C-alpha cells in the first residue's frame, strides 16, 4: 500500500521537486562516483508550525537542528523528508546504481519511485543501497528520503543526554555507478577491499589485500584481479594479478599477499608516509572496476607501565576528544570546517584524537592519515542502556570497523563509554564482551577499549576489552583537582600489567564567567551556575604535569577540544552547552587552557599571559602567570619592569610573578622574551576597581 503522502497526486512535483538530468561520460568502463548533494527539497512532516506543503530548497549536507538543538531542550525531534526528481540517461542502462549516504540522523527510509529500496538505523555510519531495480532509465525518477531523529530504545545512543542526535541528511550523498561485475559497495558500505599488515618493521612488512566481488551477469565471468602498490612518489613498488572465475551465486572474497622489503614507515606527525593501493577488476584487458585505498605501514603497541609505542619507539600520546558539531551549523559541516578543527588541534601540539562518541566524517579519518594523528574511533553505546539496543550496537560496530578498516591512523575501536551494570552478567557487560568478540574477529590487529566513569578497576563492566579507559574529573564531579595524583599512583601500583588510558579529564570554562586565580578553590560544584574559565585553566595546569610523569597512563585525552551542544543540559549560565572545550563552540576564541597545552606540547614558540578575560580586578596585589616555552620571561606593569624574578609553576613552561601591585583604574601588563635574535611579547589590560 502506498502511503497517502507518496501518491502522485500529492507530490505536486512542479512546485516541490527540482528536476535535473544526470549523465556521465561513457568512455570509461570503471565505476563512477557522482555527487548527489544538489537540488533537494526539504520539509518537516510532523511539525505543528510548518505545514507539510512547506518545502524549501536545500543542499546537502543539511540538518534541521542547526540552531534549536544548540539553544534549548525544546528542539524539533521527529520526521523530516527530502525529495528530488532526476532523469537517468540511456548511458545508465546495463549499469548497477547505488546511493551511498555517509550519515543520516538517525533513521532513514529511502524510496525510489514510491518503492522502499532500503532503510538504515543509526546516525553516524554510512549505508549504501542498490537502487538499480527501482530506477526507470530515460524517465523522471523521484527520490524520497524519510528521516527521523527521535531517540529510541533500540538504537544507540538511546537518548539526547550527552549530546544531541541532529536530524537530517547531514553528510554527503553519492551515486555510485558500476558494471554488473563489481567490487562490492554494500558490505556495510565499506570500500570493498580490506588491507591488513603484519610483522611491520624497517626491514620488511607483510601486506594482504582482500577484495570482495559480486557478479549479477547471467553467467559466470572470467576476470583478473590486479592489485598495485605505489609509493608516495607514484612509483610502482609491487603488483599482483590473479585470474578468477566469478560465479553468479553470492559475493566472493579473494586475497592477495605481498612482502615489502625496506618499507617506508608511517610515523605519525613526524612522517605520515602513505602508499596507495589500487585494486582493479579486468575483463580481458578492460578495467571494469577500480578502488583506491591508503596504506600506511606502522606498528602500534601499548606496553603496560611504559606507554604507547609507534614503530618500536615510545610515542607521546598527547590527546584531545572531538565532537563534530559547531555553533549555528549543527553537525552538517563542510570538509573545510572539519579541516579547520584538525588544524587547530595540530596547532596546539596534540598527537592523538579520540573521535567521541560516535563514528565521524570519512574526511576526518582520511585527513588524519595524511596529517599523522593517531586516532581512536568508537560507537555511541554511551551513558546508559535499555537492554533493547544490542543488535543495533553490533551493526554500528561492524559498520565502524569495515568502513574505516584501511585507515592507518586508527589504533583502537571503542566499544562503550560510561555504561554500567551491577554484575558481570548484566546486559552492559555481556554486550561489551560480544562487541569485543566482533571487533577482534573482524580486525584482530587493532586494540579494543571500553571506558568507565569511575576510577576503580574492579567494576563489573570493566576489563572486557584490550584497554581499560577511565574518565576522571577530579575537582569537578568529585574530589579536588590534585586527587588525580593519588589515582594515578594507585593504578600503577595495583595494576602494573594493565593497559590503562585516561580517556577524559577537564572542567567546564564559561568565557563569560571569570574569577581571579587568587579566589579560586580546588573544587567546584558542577550543579551550580558559576563555571569560571580560570578554574578550567587551573585544572589543566595542575593535572597535565601529573599525567606527564606517570607512564602507567598510556595515553590521555582532554575533554574536550571544542565546546559542544548538550540540549538536555542547563548548566553554568549557558543552556544546552558543554563548556569543557579548550576552544569555543564557534571556533573563534581559544581559551587560556589551549595555550597551556600549546606551550607544553607544541614546538612553536609560545609566550602567553593568562587571565586575559578577567579584566575587572578587585585585588590590588595579585600574581601574574605567564606561559613560555622559549625561556624565562620579563614582566612590565604600566611600562615598568618588575624586578622580582618569577618562580616556576607546576612545570617548566609556567612562570608566576607573585605580589604584583596594580594601580586604580587601567593597568597594562606586558611580558617579553628575547630568543635567537627575535623578540616575543604579549600584552593584556586589567582594570582595578
Separation between Cα atoms, residue 98 and residue 127, nearest integer Å: 10
* H or E stretch at 452: strand 447-452
Tell me what pLDDT residue 689 has.
Answer: 93
The grid coordinates of residue 22 equal 544526470
* H or E stretch at 240: strand 236-246
DSSP codes, 246-276: EPSSS-EEEEEEEEEESPPPPBGGGB---EE
Q: Name 441's Cβ contacts closer than 8 Å, sequence gap at least 6.
A: none
Tell me what pLDDT residue 5 has.
Answer: 40
Tell me what pLDDT residue 1 has.
Answer: 37
Predicted confidence (pLDDT) at residue 298 exceeds the cutoff of 50: yes
Tell me what pLDDT residue 322 has.
Answer: 98
* H or E stretch at 673: strand 665-675
- Identify any residues that bridge with 292 across adjacent strands, giving them in sequence order: 278
DSSP codes, 579-639: ---SB-TTS--B-HHHHHHHHHH-SS--EEES-TT--EE--SEEEEEEEESSSPPEEEETT
- Cis preceding linkage at 560, omega within 30: yes
Alpha-carbon distance values, 67 to 58, 353, 579 (Å): 16, 26, 17
Secondary structure of residue 546 in the 3-state scheme: helix
E strands in 122-180: 127-130, 140-148, 173-178
- Are 371 and 272 in contact, with CB atoms under 8 Å apart? yes
- Are 317 and 269 in contact, with CB atoms under 8 Å apart? no
- Are 686 and 517 in contact, with CB atoms under 8 Å apart? no
Separation between Cα atoms, residue 304 and residue 552, nearest integer Å: 6
Query: 374-411, pLDDT tens digit by residue?
Result: 999 999 999 999 999 999 999 999 999 999 999 999 99
Secondary structure of residue 37 in the 3-state scheme: coil
No. of helices (H) and no. of strands (E), the chain: 9, 41
Predicted confidence (pLDDT) at residue 196 exceeds the cutoff of 80: yes
Tell me what pLDDT residue 599 has.
Answer: 98
Tell me what pLDDT residue 47 has.
Answer: 56
Bridging pattern class, strands 252-261 and 236-246: unpaired
- Identify any residues that bridge with 474 across adjacent strands, giving them in sequence order: 478
Mean pLDDT in residue range 60-86: 97
- Are 635 and 627 in contact, with CB atoms under 8 Å apart? no
Q: Name 381's Cβ contacts closer than 8 Å, sequence gap at least 6.
A: 156, 157, 389, 393, 415, 416, 417, 419, 431, 435
- Any idea what the Cα angle at residue 7 is, between residues 83 and 109, rounded to 5°? 45
* H or E stretch at 442: helix 427-442
Tell me what pLDDT residue 22 has.
Answer: 67
- Are 598 and 349 in contact, with CB atoms under 8 Å apart? yes
Q: Which residue has the higher pLDDT, 17 or 49?
A: 49
Tell me what pLDDT residue 45 has.
Answer: 87
**454 exposure class (CB count in 10 Å sphere: 0-12, 13-18, 19+):** middle
| pLDDT level of residue 601 (50, 70, 90 thresholds) | very high
Query: 352-367, pLDDT tens digit by residue?
Result: 999 999 999 999 999 9
Predicted confidence (pLDDT) at residue 48 exceeds the cutoff of 80: no
Least Cα distance to 281 among 252, 249, 250 occurs for: 252
Predicted confidence (pLDDT) at residue 25 exceeds the cutoff of 90: no
Alpha-carbon distance values, 333 to 76, 103, 337 (Å): 19, 12, 6
Place of cell 590486479: 226
Work out the percent of the chain whose per-residue pLDDT is above 70: 95
- Any idea what the Cα angle at residue 414 is, between residues 413 and 417, rounded to 5°? 180
Which domains are assigned to the chain?
4-180 (2.60.120.260), 193-295 (2.60.40.10), 314-604 (3.20.20.80), 616-688 (2.60.40.10)
Mean pLDDT in residue range 180-201: 98
The grid coordinates of residue 264 equal 617506508
- Are 43 and 12 in contact, with CB atoms under 8 Å apart? no
Residues that are catalytic:
418
Tell me what pLDDT residue 54 has.
Answer: 84
Separation between Cα atoms, residue 543 and residue 525, nearest integer Å: 18
User: For 624, phi and psi rounded to 5 degrees?
Assistant: -125, 130
Q: Name 250's Cβ contacts closer than 8 Å, sequence gap at least 6.
A: none
User: For 465, phi and psi rounded to 5 degrees?
Assistant: -145, 175
Separation between Cα atoms, residue 571 and residue 536, nearest integer Å: 15
Tell me what pLDDT residue 390 has.
Answer: 98
User: For 117, phi and psi rounded to 5 degrees?
Assistant: -100, -10
Predicted confidence (pLDDT) at residue 675 exceeds the cutoff of 50: yes
Work out the percent of the chain whose per-residue pLDDT is above 90: 93
Q: Name 479's Cβ contacts closer than 8 Å, sequence gap at least 6.
A: 523
The grid coordinates of residue 310 equal 609507534
- Identify any residues that bridge with 98 across adjacent strands, giving them in sequence order: 130, 176
- Cis preceding linkage at 353, omega within 30: no
Separation between Cα atoms, residue 187 and residue 87, nearest integer Å: 27
Tell me what pLDDT residue 13 has.
Answer: 32
Tell me what pLDDT residue 533 has.
Answer: 97
Amino acid at each position: 500500500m502506498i502511503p497517502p503522502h507518496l501518491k502522485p497526486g500529492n507530490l505536486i512535483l512542479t512546485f516541490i521537486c527540482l528536476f535535473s538530468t544526470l549523465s556521465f561520460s561513457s568512455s570509461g568502463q570503471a565505476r563512477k562516483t557522482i555527487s548527489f548533494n544538489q537540488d533537494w527539497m526539504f520539509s518537516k512532516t510532523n511539525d505543528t508550525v510548518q505545514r507539510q506543503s512547506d518545502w524549501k530548497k536545500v543542499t546537502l549536507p543539511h540538518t534541521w537542528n542547526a540552531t534549536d538543538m544548540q539553544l534549548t531542550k525544546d528542539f524539533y525531534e521527529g520526521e523530516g523528508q527530502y525529495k528530488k526528481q532526476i532523469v537517468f540517461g540511456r548511458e545508465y542502462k546495463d549499469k548497477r546504481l547505488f546511493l551511498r549516504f555517509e550519515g543520516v540522523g538517525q533513521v532513514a527510509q529511502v524510496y525510489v519511485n514510491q518503492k522502499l529500496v532500503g532503510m538504515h538505523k543509526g546516525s553516524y555510519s554510512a549505508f549504501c543501497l542498490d537502487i538499480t531495480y527501482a530506477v526507470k532509465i530515460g524517465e523522471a525518477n523521484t527520490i524520497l528520503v524519510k528521516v527521523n531523529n527521535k531517540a529510541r530504545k533500540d538504537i544507540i545512543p538511546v537518548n539526547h543526554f550527552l549530546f544531541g542526535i541532529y536530524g537530517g541528511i547531514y553528510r554527503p550523498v553519492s551515486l555510485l555507478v558500476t558494471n554488473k561485475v563489481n567490487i562490492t559497495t554494500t558490505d556495510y558500505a565499506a570500500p570493498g577491499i580490506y588491507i591488513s599488515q603484519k610483522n611491520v618493521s624497517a626491514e620488511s612488512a607483510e601486506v594482504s589485500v582482500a577484495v570482495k566481488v559480486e557478479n549479477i551477469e547471467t553467467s559466470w565471468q572470467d576476470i583478473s584481479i590486479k592489485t598495485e602498490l605505489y609509493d608516495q612518489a607514484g612509483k610502482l613498488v609491487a603488483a599482483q594479478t590473479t585470474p578468477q572465475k566469478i560465479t553468479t551465486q553470492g559475493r566472493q572474497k579473494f586475497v592477495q599477499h605481498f612482502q615489502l622489503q625496506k618499507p617506508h614507515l608511517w610515523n605519525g606527525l613526524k612522517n605520515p608516509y602513505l602508499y596507495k593501493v589500487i585494486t582493479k577488476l579486468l575483463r580481458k584487458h578492460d578495467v571494469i572496476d577500480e578502488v583506491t585505498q591508503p596504506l600506511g605501514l606502522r606498528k602500534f603497541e601499548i606496553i603496560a607501565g611504559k606507554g604507547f609505542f609507534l614503530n618500536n619507539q615510545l610515542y607521546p600520546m598527547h590527546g584531545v576528544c572531538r565532537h563534530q558539531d559547531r555553533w549555528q551549523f549543527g553537525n552538517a559541516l563542510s570538509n573545510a570546517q572539519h579541516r579547520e578543527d584538525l588544524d587547530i588541534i595540530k596547532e596546539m601540539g596534540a598527537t592523538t584524537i579520540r573521535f567521541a562518541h560516535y563514528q565521524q566524517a570519512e574526511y576526518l579519518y582520511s585527513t588524519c592519515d595524511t596529517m599523522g594523528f593517531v586516532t581512536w574511533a568508537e560507537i555511541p553505546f554511551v551513558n546508559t542502556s535499555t537492554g533493547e539496543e544490542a543488535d543495533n550496537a553490533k551493526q554500528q560496530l561492524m559498520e565502524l570497523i569495515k568502513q574505516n578498516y584501511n585507515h592507518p591512523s586508527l589504533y583502537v575501536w571503542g566499544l562503550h563509554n560510561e555504561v554500567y551494570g551491577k554484575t558481570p552478567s548484566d546486559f552492559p557487560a555481556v554486550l561489551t564482551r560480544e562487541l569485543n568478540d566482533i571487533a577482534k574477529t573482524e580486525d584482530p590487529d587493532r586494540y579494543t577499549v571500553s571506558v568507565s566513569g569511575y576510577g576503580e578497576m574492579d567494576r563489573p563492566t570493566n576489563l572486557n576489552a584490550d584497554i581499560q579507559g577511565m574518565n576522571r574529573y577530579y575537582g569537578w564531579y568529585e574530589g579536588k583537582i590534585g586527587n588525580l595524583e593519588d589515582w594515578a599512583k594507585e593504578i600503577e601500583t595495583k595494576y602494573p600489567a594493565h593497559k590503562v588510558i585516561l580517556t577524559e579529564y577537564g572542567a567546564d570554562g564559561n568565557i563569560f564567567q571569570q574569577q581571579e586565580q587568587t579566589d579560586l578553590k580546588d573544587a567546584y560544584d558542577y550543579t551550580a551556575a558559576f563555571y569560571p574559565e580560570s578554574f578550567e585553566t587551573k585544572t589543566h595546569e595542575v593535572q597535565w604535569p601529573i599525567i606527564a610523569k606517570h607512564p602507567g597512563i598510556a595515553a590521555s585525552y582532554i575533554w574536550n577540544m571544542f565546546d559542544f551542544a548538550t540540549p538536555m543540559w542547563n548548566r553554568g549560565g549557558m543552556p544546552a552547552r558543554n563548556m569543557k572545550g579548550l576552544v569555543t563552540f564557534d571556533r573563534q576564541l581559544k581559551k587560556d587552557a589551549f595555550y597551556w597545552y600549546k606551550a607544553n606540547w607544541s614546538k612553536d614558540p609560545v609566550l602567553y599571559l593568562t587571565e586575559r578575560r578577567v579584566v575587572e580586578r578587585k585585588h590590588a596585589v595579585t600574581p601574574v602567570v605567564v606561559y613560555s616555552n622559549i625561556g624565562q620571561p620579563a614582566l612590565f606593569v604600566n611600562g615598568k619592569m618588575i624586578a622580582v624574578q618569577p618562580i616556576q609553576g607546576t612545570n617548566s613552561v609556567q612562570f608566576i610573578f607573585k605580589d604584583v601591585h596594580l594601580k586604580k583604574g587601567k593597568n597594562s601588563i606586558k611580558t617579553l622574551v628575547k630568543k635567537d635574535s627575535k623578540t616575543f611579547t604579549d600584552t593584556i589590560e586589567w582594570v582595578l576597581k
